[in-house]
A and B are shown apart, each in its own frame.
Chain A
Amino acid sequence: MWTFIKKEFFHIFRDYRSMVVLFGIPLIQVLLFGFAITNDVNNAKIALLDHSKDPVTREITHKLLSSHYFLLSRYLNSEDEIKPAFKKGEIKEVVVFEPHFAQKLETEGKARIQLIIDATNPNTASILNGYTTGIINSYTLDKMKKEHRLPAEVNVQTAMMYNPELKSAFMFVPGIMTVILMLVSAMMTSISITKEKELGTMEALLVSPVKPSVIILGKVTPYVVLSSIIFAIIVLLSRFVFGMPIEGSIGLLVAESLLFLVMALSLGILISTVSKSQQQAMLLSMFVLMMPTILLSGFIFPIENMPLVLQYLSDIMPGKWFIIIIKNIMLKGNGFLYIWKETLIIFSMTLFFLMVSIKKFNVRLE
C-alpha cells in the first residue's frame, strides 16, 4: 500500500503541470473570485447633467460623489450628449437634475431627478439604481428633518444577517471550495487512473497479486491528502484575506469536507471506469462535473430563480448540498442538527457512486 502511495506522489510531484493545476488553480480562483469577480459596485463612473446648478443639486452631487460607489467622469451640458457618452462606454450612469431644482423643491415641495443607467449588465444597473436612490432619499430625509417639515417619520432599519457588509466573497468562497474540491479530487483521480490504463501499466498492476481495491486506494489516498491541504489553504485564505468568519465548529467543517471529498473521489473513480483515455476523462469531468457544479449548484445563480426543471436538476448536484452545508457552518454557525439532511444526501451519493464504480470495475475484469 505504502509502495503505491509513494509511487503516486512521484507522479504528482514530477509532473510540474499537475502541480500547477493542483496548487495554482485554487489560489488563482480564490483570489480572482474574492477580489476581481465581485458583484459589489465600486467607483462606477457617472456623468452629471445639471440643468439647475443651485445649492441643492450641488449638495446632492457632493453626497453621491463622497460615497465610494461613484466617480464623476464629467459634466454634460445638454441632453444630446447623453447617448454619445454611453456609447463611448466610459460611464455607467447619468444623473439629470431638472431646471430650477431648488426652487421647485421649495415652492412645490417636489423636484425631479432622472437616472439613466447602462443596463447591459442588469445586475450592476439595479445595484447602481439602488445606491443612487438610497443616497438621494437619505439626503431629502435629512433635509426635511432639519427643517422640521416631516409630520410622521417612518424609519426602515435593515439588518443584513450573516453577512452584514454584503460581501460577495462570502457567497463565492463556499462555491469555490466546492468547485476546487471537485476539480482536484474527481478530475485528478480520474485522469491519473485513466493514464495508467492508457500506458498499459494498469494491466500490469492487475496481473500482479495486489488486490484491485488496494490499487484504487493507493491511487486515491495521495489525492485525499492533497485535497485536504488545498482545502486548508482556501479556508485560511478566506478567513484571513477576506475576513470570512467560521462561526460553527471547525471539526464539523473538516468532517463534512472529508465526506464531500470522498464523494468526489468516488465520482472520479466512476469516471475513470467509463472513460478510455485521459482526454475523455478530462472532458467528462469538465462537462459533467465542473460546468453543472458552477452553474447549477447555486454557486453563482440562485437556485430559487431557476426554471423548475433546472431546480430538479440542481438537486442531483452534490455541490449544491455541500454549499448549503458550508454556508450553514461558516456563516450561520449551525450545528449538525441543521445539516444532517444534506449530509445524508451526500453520503448516499457517495455510496451510490462507489457501488456503481465497483460494479463497473468488475465488469471490465470479466
Chain B
Amino acid sequence: MSEKIIEVKDLVKKFGNFVANDRLTFDVYRGEIFGFLGANGAGKTTAIKILTGLSRPTSGQVQVAGINVSKYPERVKKKIGYMNQSFSLYNDMSVRENFRFYGGIYGLSKAEIKERTQYYLHKLDMERYGDQLLKSIPLGWKQKLAFSVANLHNPGVIFLDEPTGGVDPITRRQFWELIYEAADRGTTVFVTTHYMDEAEYCERVAILSEGKLKALDTPALMKQEFGVTNMNDVFLKLARNVE
C-alpha cells in the first residue's frame, strides 16, 4: 500500500469568484478504498470531474496512474472507470447490450466482452436477466450492474460518484461487498458519499467542507481524535467548526 495512484497537489478550481476547490492536497494509494465525504455543494463532484479529466483545474497538479490529467486527459481515461448516481446505463437496452456498448467504447474485443459479461452475470447471479431491458430490472440490481460495467475494462482506479443514492440499506451493504472484492483484486476505489455509515467502510476518509479539506485519516483515528463513536458525529463536529 505504498504506491501512489492519485496525487493531488494544491488543486484550485474557481468558477468566477466562487472557489469550488480550495488548495486540495492528498494522495491515494493503490488498492485503497478512499472515501470522499462532504455535504452537498462541498466540492466533491467538482474534484471528481477534475480527477476524471472532465474538467480542468484552475491551478495545481493532478496525477492519476502516473499521468498528468490536465495535460493528457485522453490517456488517463483509458485507465479509469466511472460510475455516477444515475448508473450511466441505458434503460431501453438489454443488460447484455449495455455490456456490449460500454465494452465497445473501451475498445474491448468481442470475445473479451462476451467472456466478461458472462463472468459478471454469473457472479451477480443475473444470467436469467441478460436479455431483459434494463428498465424492467430493480434499482439495486441496476446499481450492481453499473458497477460491473464500470469495471469491465479492468481499470486501475474506479471513481464512484455517490453510487448508493436512493438505494435501500441491504442493497447498499451488498454493493459494498462488490467494492471490497474489487479492492482485493488491486483496484483503487475512490468513492464520494454523504452517507456517514458508508464512511466507516472506507480505509481512509477525506472530509470536504466549502471547498476545503477539513480532515483526512482512517475512520478509527478520526473518531479517536474527535472523541466520538461514529463518523456521523465526526462530521457534525467538523460542520459546527465551520459555522
Residues on A close to B: CB < 8 A?
3-4, 6-7, 10-11, 14-15, 199-201, 203-211, 365-366
Instruction: Please tell me which stretch of B32-40, B102-110, B224-232, B234-242 contacts chain A, meaning at least 4 of its Cβ atoms lie within 8 angstroms of it.
Output: B102-110
B82 touches A207 (CB 8 A): yes
19 further contact pairs, Cβ within 8 A, besides A14-B92, A201-B89, A207-B80: A3-B100, A3-B104, A4-B105, A6-B101, A10-B90, A11-B92, A200-B88, A201-B90, A203-B84, A204-B83, A204-B84, A207-B53, A207-B54, A208-B102, A209-B106, A209-B107, A211-B74, A365-B55, A366-B55
Residue B97 interfacial (CB < 8 Å): yes
CB contact list, B29-82 vs A, under 8 A: 52-56, 74, 77-78, 80, 82
Given contacts A3-B101, A3-B104, A366-B55, contact A10 B92 (CB under 8 A): yes
User: Considering the chains assembled together, what is the distance between the CA atoms of A325 and B105 in angstroms?
Assistant: 40
- How big is the B interface, by class? 20 to 34
User: Considering the chains assembled together, what is the distance between the CA atoms of A217 and B195 in angstroms?
Assistant: 39
Q: For residue B90, which residues in chain A have a CB less than 8 angstroms away from its CB?
A: 7, 10-11, 199, 201
A201 touches B88 (CB 8 A): yes
Residue B85 interfacial (CB < 8 Å): yes
B92 touches A208 (CB 8 A): no
Q: List 27 A-B contacts (CB under 8 A).
A: A3-B100, A3-B101, A3-B104, A3-B105, A4-B105, A6-B101, A7-B90, A10-B90, A10-B92, A11-B90, A14-B92, A15-B92, A199-B90, A200-B84, A203-B54, A204-B83, A204-B84, A204-B88, A204-B102, A206-B54, A207-B53, A207-B54, A207-B77, A207-B82, A208-B82, A209-B105, A211-B74
A7 touches B93 (CB 8 A): yes
**In the complex, what residue of chain B is closest to A207 when comparing beta carbons?**
B82
**In the complex, what residue of chain B is closest to A7 when comparing beta carbons?**
B101
B54 touches A205 (CB 8 A): no
Residues on B close to A: CB < 8 A?
52-56, 74, 77-78, 80, 82-93, 97, 100-102, 104-107, 133, 159
User: Considering the chains assembled together, what is the distance between the CA atoms of A315 and B77 in angstroms?
Assistant: 45
Q: For residue B52, which residues in chain A have a CB less than 8 angstroms away from its CB?
A: 207
Given contacts A10-B92, A10-B93, A11-B90, contact A209 B74 (CB under 8 A): yes
**In the complex, what residue of chain A is closest to B86 when comparing beta carbons?**
A200
A365 touches B54 (CB 8 A): yes
**In the complex, what residue of chain B is closest to A366 when comparing beta carbons?**
B56
Tell me the interface secondary structure of chain A in the complex. helix
B143 to chain A, nearest CB (A): 13
User: Considering the chains assembled together, what is the distance between the CA atoms of A366 and B16 in angstroms?
Assistant: 13
Q: For residue B105, which residues in chain A have a CB less than 8 angstroms away from its CB?
A: 3-4, 205, 208-210
Q: For residue A366, which residues in chain B have a CB less than 8 angstroms away from its CB?
A: 55-56
A208 touches B106 (CB 8 A): yes
User: Considering the chains assembled together, what is the distance between the CA atoms of A208 and B101 in angstroms?
Assistant: 12
**In the complex, what residue of chain B is closest to A15 when comparing beta carbons?**
B92
The 5 closest A-B pairs by CB, nearest first: A200-B86, A204-B88, A3-B104, A207-B82, A209-B77
**In the complex, what residue of chain A is closest to B83 when comparing beta carbons?**
A204
A16 to chain B, nearest CB (A): 11
User: Considering the chains assembled together, what is the distance between the CA atoms of A209 and B101 in angstroms?
Assistant: 13
A176 to chain B, nearest CB (A): 30
B137 to chain A, nearest CB (A): 15
B77 touches A201 (CB 8 A): no
A97 to chain B, nearest CB (A): 69
A103 to chain B, nearest CB (A): 80
B97 touches A10 (CB 8 A): yes
Q: For residue B104, which residues in chain A have a CB less than 8 angstroms away from its CB?
A: 3
User: Considering the chains assembled together, what is the distance between the CA atoms of A203 and B89 in angstroms?
Assistant: 11
Q: For residue A199, which residues in chain B have a CB less than 8 angstroms away from its CB?
A: 86, 88, 90-91
User: Considering the chains assembled together, what is the distance between the CA atoms of A207 and B157 in angstroms?
Assistant: 13
A200 touches B85 (CB 8 A): yes
**In the complex, what residue of chain B is closest to A198 when comparing beta carbons?**
B86
**In the complex, what residue of chain B is closest to A206 when comparing beta carbons?**
B54
Q: For residue A206, which residues in chain B have a CB less than 8 angstroms away from its CB?
A: 54
**In the complex, what residue of chain B is closest to A3 when comparing beta carbons?**
B104
